[in-house]
Structure 1
Amino acid sequence: MPMGPMMQGRGMPGSMMGGPGRRMMGWFSPEDMNAFIDAHIAAIHAGLKLNADQEKLWPPVESAMRNLATLHLGHMQAMRETPRMMTGDPVGMLRAVADRMSQGADAMRKLADAASPLYATLDEAQKRRLQVLVRMGSRAMMGRRMMGPGMMGSGGGMMDDDDEDSP
């Protein structure tokens, strides 16, 4: 899910707040974003084609993905509601960014902890599909350039964005 530079508080592209290149957060309601999160999680789950033993390991992964996405959406909503803080109070902005980064890091660690047992059981085809499904979903939901480097290491899968297709 969802969770690159914006989740970590590293900068805020002008397009997120409604500039000429507006992204999804400016176009869709929180309900819409939740529907996209549901669809993304369902796509990952369906695409993995888990066996019965792997299926038992899925619920904590799904829960951690939802928690991370909910945190991210909360951060985005807070930034939307307090745009002046981003320009008028640089010290306050630094504190808010640091708080978001800490919260995001904690949520990502929880996702990594939840995903690790399942990931260890995936065969090569499932790992390959996971990489594509996560990449597709993150780019569709947040736009290219919004997602950070891979959560499980370069080429590792969970949230990898190696920019192979970048100009």
Structure 2
Amino acid sequence: MLKTVVIGTAFFLTASSIANAQSSQTPSPATPERLNAADRNTLTDMRVDLVKAALQLTPEQEKFWPAVESAIRSGAEDRRARIAKIQETVGVRNDESRMEAMRKRDPIAFLQRRSQALAQRSADLDKLAEAWQPLYNTLSQEQRQRMAALSIFVLREMSDAVDRRRALSEDSDD
């Protein structure tokens, strides 16, 4: 089990370093460079491989994996689309002065966009849960422990990434 967690950690750290390398090469904080489609696909591939490797599925469990992988990839693609939509909105506002942007703000439209994004995210999570359920029911206690350890690690890494982005955003506002 320790070997699997170490391998999984290495995969995740490699994936994180790709993302960090991309974000650390930004020309200026106001215009961050984003991952290109190939890098995003590679990152998703690595994350899928990490989860599968950590679980060490049996041949019987393998038959449930395609639905899980499809749900993971679909969620990643939907997330990318949501982020692109946000970047588009922010890009339009960057061309305006702050006062002009404040005057043009429409709180109702914002709430509607946010509601749509949350509805899409909810649908993605429902799809992921539905895909995982049959596989999860077949996992051994050891596999469930590895999945829990990996989940905790990933959530901690995501939290750290959010904190780093907030710090960069606060630094750029100064």
Aligned length: 126
1:130 to 116, 131, 147: 147
Map Cα deviations across residues 2-55 of structure 1 (whole Å, 9 max, x no partner): xxxxxxxxxxxxxxxx9x989xx8542343222111100111011100001100
Q: 1:145 offset after TM fit, Å?
A: 7.1
Deviation at 1:139, TM superposition (A): 5.0
Question: In the alignment, is the contact (CA less than 8 A) between 1:61 and 1:111 conserved in 2?
Answer: yes
**1:92 matched residue in structure 2:** 109
In the alignment, structure 1 segments of 5+ residues that lack a partner are 1-17, 147-167
Q: Which of 93, 102, 122 does residue 105 from structure 1 map onto?
A: 122
CA deviation after TM superposition for structure 1 residue 130, in Å: 1.2
| Equivalent residue number for residue 121 of structure 1 | 138
Q: Distance in 1 between matches of 2:122 and 2:140?
A: 28
| Compared CA separation, residues 125 and 21, structure 1 to 2 (3 A) | farther
Partner of 1:150: none
* 2:160 is aligned with 1:144: yes
Deviation at 1:137, TM superposition (A): 4.0
TM-score normalized with structure 2 length: 0.62
Match of 1:72 in 2: 79
In the alignment, which residue of structure 2 is the partner of 1:4? Answer: none
Name whichever structure is richer in helix by fraction.
2
TM-score, reference length from structure 1: 0.64
The aligned counterpart of 1:60 is 67
Instruction: Flag structure 2 segments of 5+ consecutive residues without an equivalent.
Output: 1-25, 95-100, 163-174
2:148 partner amino acid:
Q
**Identity across the alignment (%):** 30
**SS of 1:50 mapped into structure 2:** coil
- Alignment correspondent of 2:42: 35
Please say if residues 44 and 134 of structure 1, whose CA atoms lie closer than 8 Å, have aligned partners that are also in contact.
Answer: no
CA RMSD of aligned residues (A): 3.0
Tell which structure's C-alpha radius of gyration is larger: 2
